[in-house]
Chain A
Amino acid sequence: MAEPHKSGTTQPAGEHKGGFPPFQSQTYASQLIWLVIAFVLLYVLMSKWALPRVGSILESRQKRIDGDIAEAGALKAQSDEAVAAYEKALADARANAQAIANETRDKQAAVAESRRKTLEDELNAKLAEAEKTIAATKAAAMSNVRGIAEDATRAIVERLIGTAPSDKAVADAVADALKRT
């Protein structure tokens, strides 16, 4: 098989290299040697060059994706924390405001109460005093009425009968009359 095969059919009987091409055993040595060379070459190229190259690209992408996901997770945790802190601050402020409002209201109520009490006391005192004054004035007025009544009685009796009654009789009569009223 040194010379190139004829490019004709393989069929003609008598031709030395005839037969079914895959079963032409004289071509096997050449095919095997080139297969070994090509296959080993391809294996070395793949295992030493191409596959590590593709593998490193895939790995770096995977790393990048994992890193991004981890970063996103960390940022999410951070934002959750911030939200929690904000909510806590809000709740604190609300509670604080409530406390201040309660305290102020209580204080104001106490102040108003005490002021009301003093005012009431003052008024009560004034009332008592006024009542006392009224009583005194009344007593004084009553005693004045008696004197006037006695004078008037004496004058009336003197005019009627011409003689002045005794002071005692007038006083008794007036007292008797006042008692009846």
Chain B
Amino acid sequence: MAANDPIHQFQIIDLLPIAKIGTSEIVFTNSAAFMFAAVIVITAFLVIGTAKRALVPSRLQSAAEISYEFVATTVRSTAGSEGMKFFPFVFTIFMFILTLNFIGLIPYTFTVTSHIIITAALAITVFLTVLFYGLYRHGLHFFNLFIPKGVPLLIMPLIVFIEVLSFISRPISHSVRLFANMLAGHITLKVFAGFIILMGSAMGAVGWAGGILPFGMIVILTALETLVAFLQAYVFAILTCIYLNDAIHPGH
């Protein structure tokens, strides 16, 4: 039954109760375990990969350098060279989401990024960083962001209203995009996997043989989900860069 439930894979499982704050229980969960696994994997990837500091890099070192340069190029091209002060932040976000997405693709694992609370927290972190850095850097001029140049005065209030609304709704779209993509992809995979079990248990040998069809779909979908896992991490990172660019250069 559990194996057939496409929602079951998103279940938070308590592993170790830690403390009780008010009415909320703080528990070390499977989600927390996978987050720390991601931290360890990323750190190991970058540090062990560069252990030799080779002039001509090994494959692992080359991969570590590519990840560095990929994010650095993205930040520089989107937010300018001034945006490079946020490079560690963007790099952390990108690698964290990417690694969690990829770990989640392995069967029997848990996909941390399929929980809206996680993606929302990350998106709000970006949102608040943009807001506070923009205010710190430009003071009230930061709000010029909402006043596009060359708009007739008559429709200005409407435009400003729309700009403010789009600014405030950013964390929503930012977080839901990642959450929904991961959730939907994993549910789809599970549903097709469930077909194999259903056909096998309902029709016996013929069913198991027919299961090759949904299995083929799973193979194709896994390839697609691998792309989505990368793409969503990239989209999240590049949107972060675009929003940070607004904080650095608020002029429209």
In the complex, the answer to whether B96 meets A39 with C-beta atoms within 8 Å is yes
Q: Mark A8-47, 1 if CB is under 8 A from B, else 0.
A: 1111000000001111101111111111101101110111
Which of B46-54, B135-143, B156-164, B239-247 lies at the interface?
Answer: B46-54
**B31, A24: Cβ atoms closer than 8 Å:** no
Once bound together, how far apart are the Cα atoms of A89 and B38, in whole Å?
A: 70
Nearest-neighbour CB distance to chain B for A37, whole angstroms, equals 8
Chain A binder among B64-72, B193-201, B207-215, B222-230: B64-72
Neighbouring B residues of A50 by C-beta, 8 Å: 42-43, 46-47, 50
B36 within 8 A of A: yes
Q: Could you tell me the distance in whole angstroms from the C-beta of B156 to the nearest C-beta in chain A?
A: 39
Q: Does A107 contact B (CB under 8 A)?
A: no
Complex contacts, A58 vs chain B, CB 8 Å: 65, 68-69
Determine chain A's interface SS by DSSP, over half rule.
helix
Q: How many angstroms between the C-alpha atoms of A110 and B88 in the bound complex?
A: 91
B82 CB within 8 Å of chain A: no
Q: Which of A2, A9, A11, A31 lies in contact with B17, CB distance below 8 A?
A: A2
Bound-state Cα–Cα, A169 to B17, Å: 186
Total count of chain B residues near the partner, CB < 8 A: 55
Q: Is the CB of A41 within 8 A of B115?
A: no
Interface string of B2-40 (1 = CB under 8 A from A): 100101101111110100010011111101100110110
User: A176 on the interface (CB 8 Å rule)?
Assistant: no
Please tell me if A64 contacts chain B, counting CB pairs below 8 Å.
yes
Cβ–Cβ contact B118 & A35, under 8 A: yes
User: Per a CB cutoff under 8 Å, which of B7, B15, B31, B179 touches A11?
Assistant: B7
Q: Which residues of B contact A (CB under 8 A)?
A: 1-2, 5, 7-8, 10-15, 17, 21, 24-29, 31-32, 35-36, 38-39, 42-43, 46-47, 50, 53, 55, 57, 61, 64-65, 68-69, 87-89, 91-92, 95-96, 114-118, 121-122, 125, 179, 183
For this complex, 16 residue pairs linking A to B, each with C-beta atoms less than 8 Å apart, are A2-B25, A5-B12, A7-B13, A10-B11, A22-B179, A30-B31, A31-B12, A34-B36, A39-B125, A42-B38, A43-B88, A45-B43, A46-B92, A49-B47, A51-B68, A54-B64
What 16 new A-B contacts, CB under 8 Å, besides A20-B7, A43-B92? A2-B14, A21-B7, A22-B115, A22-B116, A29-B21, A30-B12, A33-B26, A36-B121, A39-B35, A39-B122, A39-B125, A42-B38, A46-B43, A50-B43, A53-B46, A54-B50
Would you list the 7 A-B pairs with minimal beta carbon distance, nearest first?
A: A34-B32, A47-B88, A50-B46, A29-B24, A38-B35, A21-B10, A27-B12
Binding site for B on A (CB under 8 A): 1-5, 7-11, 20-24, 26-36, 38-39, 41-43, 45-47, 49-51, 53-55, 57-58, 60-61, 64
